[in-house]
Chains A and B, each alone.
Chain A
Amino acid sequence: EIVMTQSPATLSVSPGERATLSCRASQSVDSSVAWYQQKPGQAPRLLISGASTRATGIPARFSGSGSGTEFTLTISSLQSEDMAVYFCQQYNNWPPMYTFGQGTKLEIK
């Protein structure tokens, strides 16, 4: 099983500042990584797929990068509505054995 490890567990950032969230895979997953945002009481929302492609309707302040084992989600100018938990997911296998990171909680300072 590929283990996805996210860091930090909690991140506190002031509005307007940049937030950088990290995700590391235990083995190479090429670019088969997605990022999701989950707000309290809501289902996750897809932000990024293929490591760097924004999903439909996602603001340009969200960007993803990386390949292989190291991935980053960057929020360029944090808004108050970005307070949420962010999960990474790898999907680089068939038959599928998709795995998620444990999440990074993003707090607004």
Chain B
Amino acid sequence: EVQLVQSGTEVKKPGDSLKISCKGSGYSFKSYWIGWLRQKPGKGLEWMGIIYPGDSDTRYSPSLQGQVTISADKSISTTYLQWTSVKSSDTAIYYCAKQPEGTNRGDFDYWGQGTLVTVSS
């Protein structure tokens, strides 16, 4: 059974650093692109970026490039999303999600449970 299990709720102050994680199981973690997406309170979904754990090839949304860093450690089947300095506008639920096998497959077939990040002074 494919599972993506994310780290728990985070409460941070503006300017804090933050790293959240997503651990995959039940499939060959290194062989599938995995993405990070966010959902601000009461809003829709926003794609942030994807990473191929096999070689750490990473692609970012142009609007978020430089704001966050996506990484992966294939030895422990885990991907990370990190900030050096969070802002109140980073308050959101963050999801990791796996892409299916195949070319031109930018959809997401399995999702983590989400990590709530709250940034408030």
> Which A residues are closer than 8 A to B by beta carbons?
32, 34, 36, 43-46, 49, 55-56, 87, 89, 91-92, 94-103
Contact A44 B95 (CB under 8 A): yes
Min C-beta distance of A91 to chain B, whole Å: 3
Min C-beta distance of A31 to chain B, whole Å: 9
Contact B95 A46 (CB under 8 A): no
Q: How many residues of B contact A (CB 8 A)?
A: 22
Using Cβ atoms and an 8 Å threshold, which residues of chain B touch A98? Answer: 35, 47, 61, 106
**Majority DSSP secondary structure for residues of B touching A:** loop
A34 to B46 CA separation, bound complex (whole angstroms): 14
| Chain A minimum-CB-distance residue to B108 | A46
Using Cβ atoms and an 8 Å threshold, which residues of chain B touch A102? Answer: 44
> Which B residues are closer than 8 A to A by beta carbons?
35, 44-47, 50, 59, 61-62, 95, 97, 100, 104-109, 111-114
Q: Given A94-B104, A97-B61, 20 other A-B contacts at CB below 8 A? A: A32-B104, A34-B108, A36-B45, A36-B108, A43-B95, A43-B111, A43-B113, A43-B114, A44-B95, A44-B111, A46-B108, A46-B109, A49-B105, A49-B107, A91-B107, A95-B59, A96-B59, A98-B106, A100-B44, A102-B44
Contact B45 A100 (CB under 8 A): yes
A45 to B114 CA separation, bound complex (whole angstroms): 13
Contact A46 B107 (CB under 8 A): yes
Using Cβ atoms and an 8 Å threshold, which residues of chain B touch A92? Answer: 106
Using Cβ atoms and an 8 Å threshold, which residues of chain A touch B105? Answer: 49, 91
A107 to B91 CA separation, bound complex (whole angstroms): 27
Using Cβ atoms and an 8 Å threshold, which residues of chain B touch A103? Answer: 44
With beta carbons under 8 angstroms apart, the residue of B45, B97, B106, B112 that contacts A96 is B106
With beta carbons under 8 angstroms apart, the residue of A36, A45, A100 that contacts B47 is A100
Using Cβ atoms and an 8 Å threshold, which residues of chain A touch B50? Answer: 96
Contact B44 A55 (CB under 8 A): no
Using Cβ atoms and an 8 Å threshold, which residues of chain B touch A99? Answer: 47
A45 to B46 CA separation, bound complex (whole angstroms): 15
Min C-beta distance of A103 to chain B, whole Å: 5
